[in-house]
Amino acid sequence: MGRLRCMMLGGRQLKGFCTTHFFERVGDEIKAPDKIVVKFPNMRAHPDYLEIVKVVMGVRELFYGTDIDGSLARFLVCDLDKGCVVSDYTEGLSLTEIMRGHDMRNREVCEIVDFCKDLVVRALWIVTEMNAQGVIHRDFKPDNLICKNLFGDDLVLIDLDFMALSHSKRSWNCDGTSKYQSLGVIEGQNFAAGRDMYALAMTCLEMLESFLRLRCCRMTMRSFLHISWQI
């Protein structure tokens, strides 16, 4: 990996940001090298992190909008076939809100099962695509998973403040606040992408358990999972 060097962007040194490679600024554009190993100890201290994510993930849309309180917010949208990733988002219900029973209390068990399966597939797609592009969320949790349309096609993963950019499976420490990121070891090493997958698995389990409690079902988790695969 070699010694870490402070990165120069536009002729100025960015404190708290280290990388083994340099990004090249060509005019107003940031050109990424072939291989990127980046550490962001403090995301908010790095003013160009959205532009770098845009380059690494091949994002085609980066725009400014108005947040729910009227303040100017930065939005990063990553075009995926079955979902998207944004830096900030306000419209829609978080998975936490859904798990608390919003619009789910009167649903039939079959509808809930279908919803869970669909949500998991879409969430898995988003996380897999992010990880494949070298972007690790590091704070994946129900609060950061938004359903714009509860039983529709729109699923959004938000809040990239703790994300890391890495094409390496080297060990790293999780700076996120999520309890879902407490995994210590996967296959003997702290694989970065493995943390997001572990967090997704824990999210799915909590979602299923919440819906079971919501429906006051007497089914066990095992029987519920069995039914979910049969439907």
| 120 to 136, 162, 169: CA distances (angstroms) | 18, 22, 24
The pairing of beta strand 38-39 with beta strand 61-66: unpaired
Stretch 32-53: mean pLDDT = 45
Q: Beta-carbon neighbour count of residue 57 at 10 Å?
A: 20
Question: Residues 123-151: pLDDT tens digits?
Answer: 888 888 777 766 777 778 888 888 877 77
Buried b (16+ CB within 10 A) or exposed e, 84-96: bbbbebeebbbbb
Closest Cα to residue 74, out of 33, 38, 46?
46
Nearest to 21, CA basis, from 39, 45, 47: 39
pLDDT digits (tens, 9 = 90+) for 68-115: 444 444 444 554 555 666 666 667 788 888 887 766 777 777 777 788
- List the domain boundaries for the chain: 5-230
- Claim: this prediction has a pTM higher than 0.85: no
Q: Which CATH architecture has domain 5-230?
A: Orthogonal Bundle (1.10)
The pLDDT value given to residue 221: 52
For 22-39, the pLDDT digits (tens) are 344 445 444 444 333 333
Using one digit for the tens of pLDDT, what is the confidence trace for 162-180?
Answer: 666 654 444 444 544 556 6
**Higher confidence at residue 169 or residue 14?**
169
Helix, strand, coil fractions of the chain, as percent rounded to 5? 35, 25, 40
Question: Is beta strand 155-157 parallel, antiparallel or unpaired with respect to 84-85?
Answer: parallel
pLDDT at 118: 83
Instruction: Write out pLDDT tens, residues 184-215.
Output: 444 433 455 667 777 887 788 777 777 767 66
Task: Say what the pLDDT of residue 107 is.
Answer: 75
Find all residues with CB under 8 Å of 207, minimum gap 6, and list them. Answer: 95, 98, 99, 116, 119, 142
Predicted local distance difference test score (pLDDT) of residue 10: 28
